[in-house]
Chain A
Amino acid sequence: MGETFAIKILSRAAGKKVREGEIVFVEPDYILTHDNSSAIIGKFESTVPGGRIRYPERVAIVLDHVIPAASSKHASGHRKVREFVREQGIANFYDIGTGVCHQVMPEMGLVKPGSIVVGSDSHTCTYGAFNCFATGIDRTEAAGIWITGKTWFKVPPTINIDLTGAFTAGVSAKDLILTVIGDIGAGGANYMAVEFNGPAVGGLRICDRMTIANMGIEMGAKIAAFPANIVTSKYYEALDIPITSAIWSDYDAEYARTLEYDLENIVPVIACPHQVDNVVPVGEMAGMKIDQIFLGTCTNGRVEDLKTAADILRGEKIHSSVRMLVAPASRAEYLKAMKMGIVEDLVSAGAVVLPPGCGPCLGAHQGALAPGEKCLSTANRNFKGRMGEKEAEIYLSSPETAAVSALSGKICDPREVLK
Chain B
Amino acid sequence: MTVGPGQTLDVPVVTFAAWRPELVLAATLVLGLLAGARARRHVQFAVVAGLVVAAVLAAIDQDGGGPAGRPSHPLGAHFVVDGPAALARLALTALAALVAGVLPRGQHRSATMLVAATLGLVWLTEATTAAAVLLAVGTAVVGGSMSAWFAASGGQRRAVRRWHLTAALGFAVLAYGLALWSGLAGTLEFGEAAANLAARPSLPPLALPLVLSCLGVGLVLSLLGEPGRFQDGDLEVVPAALTGWLTVAPLVGLVVLVHRLVPATDSAAPAVSDFMGALAAVLVIGGFLAAAVQSRLQRRLAWAAAGQVGLALLGHAAASSGGGLAISMRCVLTFAPAQLGAVLLSGAIAGPGHVGLRRGALPVLLAGFLVSLAAVPPLAGWRPRFELLQALVAGDRYLLGGVAAAGTLFGCVVYLRPLVGLWRGHAEPPPLDEAAPAAPAGAGSLAVTSLVAAALFAIVLAWGAGLLRPGWYLD
Tell whether A and B belong to one assembly: no
The chain B residues found within 8 Å of chain A, CB to CB, are: none
